[in-house]
Amino acid sequence: MLIENKQIAIVGGGPGGLTLARLLQLKGANIKVYERDFDKHARVQGSPLDLHHESGLAALRKANLLEEFKKHYRPGADKMLIVNEHAEILFSDHETHPEENFGCEHFRPEIDRGPLRNMLLESLQPETVVWDSQFVSMEKQNEGWLLHFKNGSTAYADIVIAADGANSKIRPYLTDIKAFYSGITMLEANIYDAEKATPEIHALLNGGKIMAFGNSKCLLMGSKGNNELGFYVSIKAEESWAANNGLNYVDKEQLLTWFKQEYAEWSTVWHKLLENTATPVIPRLIYCMPLDQTWETQANLTLLGDAAHVMPPFAGEGVNMAMLDALELSECLTSDKFKELKEAISDYETTMRKRAAMAASESLENGQVMHSKDALNSMLGVFNEHLK
């Protein structure tokens, strides 16, 4: 095996990095995961994740974790409503929601990020993850790399795999290609005790998700575990908007005033979101890697997930691409068909870039549709077609 007696460093303990660690450990590899969080108890934010049959779930099956996943996913959380700006329901699959079937390629079970991360962490050998290890820099040493972390520690690795997200600090060691702005900015927010704080919206969600469209704007929201509600205010905006709009992201009153102006034609029922949100609200500028990106393969360094191919979230492919990256990279690194590591990594990167470009293209197109004047009718057409 090409990685026999090699020390592998995975930088970043998200779903992609942890999945790769699990898959490689099953093959007997020497793995350390360097994660910037102080410990495993760090709160994991973000919307729930839906895993797909051919990617995220395929990786879990290979990692012998599908049965464990079934204990933690949230049945029915993929139910969908599409509403207009007045909260009038125009599409619902709540009554026709298909039976939960892990053998069906169209079934996309949802899981909160925290339980997924915990499940992956618990599958690893003790002390695999080195916490409080924020990557700062690295330099070539022997045939590998010497990594430096913010806490002053260092570590040597024969192979480094960047799983450190959209703002990867390792990516520049491989390529200077940068992501471009998609034209869309989202304000990410969370509501605790949603049943009490926003009873009308909580009841409308009914444990699932809502997509609301009107006037070239949209609201996206979904139920989370522990009676939480996550939502995104999504608009077309200049790249500098989030930094220069004068909004104080911890001031709910100011944010509500802005929302009433920006979403003036929308029902007052949506005001409850901003009135009850936890702060700070986080602006998320949506970026995408160029679809034709390429770089020269190295024998001791590669990327996966958002570090390799950050893309808009409008096709639900981000975490699924990262976990499929982990699956395909693990198979390349442990395959007997390659004579050297550079050949194995090149094979993975070529396939990964092509696959990610297709997903990114779909995501970009969906994002434009969802923020168009005819977004409501377009999305109704898509979802009604899925019911046939």
Cα–Cα distance measured from residue 359 to residue 322, given in angstroms and rounded to the nearest whole number: 12
Q: Using a pLDDT cut of 70, give the percent of the chain over it.
A: 98
For position 160, what pLDDT does the model report?
98
pLDDT in tens, 217-236: 999 999 988 899 999 999 99
Averaged pLDDT for residues 33-44:
89
Q: Give the integer Cα–Cα distance in Å for 230 and 188.
A: 8
Cβ partners under 8 Å of residue 239, min gap 6: 181, 285
* pLDDT reading at 386 higher than 70: no
How sure is the predictor about 165, in pLDDT bands with cuts at 50, 70 and 90? Answer: very high
Tell me which residue has tokens 């390349």. 332
Whether pLDDT at 97 is above 70: no
Does 101 have pLDDT greater than 90? no
Measured distance CA(368)–CA(312) in Å, rounded: 11
The predicted-structure confidence for 246-285, as pLDDT tens digits, reads as follows 999 999 999 999 999 999 999 999 999 999 999 999 999 9
Q: What is the DSSP letter of 260?
A: H
Q: Is 171 known to sit in a ligand binding site?
A: no
Q: What is the pLDDT of residues 124-162, one digit of tens each?
A: 999 999 999 999 999 999 999 999 999 999 999 999 999
Closest of 70, 69, 90 to residue 80, by C-alpha: 90
User: Interhelix angle for 318-333 vs 341-370, to 10°?
Assistant: 170
Residue 47 has pLDDT above 80, yes or no: no
- Asked whether the predicted pLDDT for residue 46 surpasses 90, the reply is no
Annotated binding-site residue? 78: no
Instruction: Give the per-residue pLDDT at 106.
Output: 75
Which pLDDT score, from 0 to 100, does residue 387 have? 62
pLDDT band at residue 30 under the 50/70/90 scheme: very high
Domains, in order of start, for the chain = 7-74+111-178+291-370 (3.50.50.60), 180-288 (3.30.9.30)
Query: Is 306 assigned to a binding site?
Result: yes
Question: Quick one: pLDDT band at residue 104, thresholds 50, 70, 90?
Answer: confident
> Which pLDDT does position 388 carry in this prediction?
57
Q: Are 164 and 138 in contact (CB under 8 A)?
A: no
Query: What is the distance between the alpha carbons of residues 128 and 30, in angstroms, rounded to a whole number?
Result: 9
At residue 98, does pLDDT exceed 70? no
Left (φ > 0), alpha (ψ -120 to 50) or beta: where does 227 sit?
left
Ranking 8-12, 94-98, 261-265 by mean pLDDT, the lowest is: 94-98
Looking at per-residue confidence, does 326 or 103 come out higher?
Answer: 326
| 61 assigned binding-site residue | no
pLDDT (mean) for 188-207: 95
